[in-house]
A = this chain, B = another copy of it.
């Protein structure tokens, strides 16, 4: 990995540089909208629906919301991850070249070690060997896809320490320059992931009528790399940024950390939003916990996630993983969020970008989830 001391600053300009660096390597994913989803997002919840929630007895809020869905499920490998992997690997190779260590001529070959099929794809396209460490309980389709991109897959136990142990072993193997690509807790990774925020801003200009602008973006928050990258991509634009988490078994570590004033470092949740079980990393936390960058993080229940998931499948006709339904669940069911949007509407519709982070899930699993 590129030396962290030489990494670009955590700014919008650095996200723009990352976008320039990875241009042509990733899809410019489509932005979709749905008048049906807008209509339910813009209808007040019933008082019955608020029963048993923290907002029981309160008057339902009345925001008016138009959602622009940024479809990273339609990205290569079915998720936003190649953005960060390409940026991190290209930065490493650039630095090596600048130092005279051109990887293609070097006797000791580079190999990239990562946790995702995004890393596998990026390494393959850059002509370097890829080693991917995955829990042995990963979806067979995901394992097959990762191997399909040419990676050597190494299996680990399901917990972060177990994965780390396998990474450590690979990193110490001789004969290679072993380069680990962190999935979220590194500037190069999160700056690359933030490029989806820039794209969404450009696409909003193309899609919204002349006198309208994008007011905010909501994105899921797991390790926080993507959310923090998106937040950087919005610096100085006036676009508000929000995070979305599942509340089940304390998976809302970022929200709780913000309340407590310090990062929550451990989470043990089996939320159905399995991409969001990870606690927020150290560098993403620094960005997200600055209220100039992220205006708030909101959480939802498992049932609310299931309901939003079914709406997306049924009405938007796209396959998404449960984690990607979390932001829509916040928009539809979290009254704190909805009230905040209502106060910012000024009689206008609030144009909200919503990041669909990925679609790597088995259709049989989806059918189970929506019952």
Contact = CB atoms under 8 A, between A and B. Distances in A.
Interface stretch (A103-111, A244-252, A279-287, A358-366): A358-366
A370 B364 contact: yes
Contacts of A58: none
A243 interface: no
Given A363-B367, A363-B370, A364-B367, A317 B319 contact: yes
A141 interface: yes
A73 B370 contact: no
A320 B314 CA distance: 10
Interface string A2-33: 00000000000000000000000000001010
A148 interface: yes
A189 B83 CA distance: 43
B74 A36 contact: no
Interface string A177-207: 0000000000000000000000000000000
How many copies of the chain does the oligomer comprise? Answer: 2
A359 B35 CA distance: 16
Contacts of A370: 363-364
A318 interface: yes
A145 B320 CA distance: 21
For chain A, the bracket of interface size reads: 20 to 34
A339 to B, nearest CB: 27
Contacts of A318: 74, 317-319
A368 B318 CA distance: 18
Given A364-B370, A366-B367, A317 B76 contact: no
A78 interface: yes
Contacts of A76: 35
A258 interface: no
Contact of A313 (B148, B316, B363): B363
A73 B362 CA distance: 19
Interface of A: 30, 32, 35-36, 73-74, 76, 78, 141, 145, 148, 310, 313-320, 359, 362-364, 366-368, 370
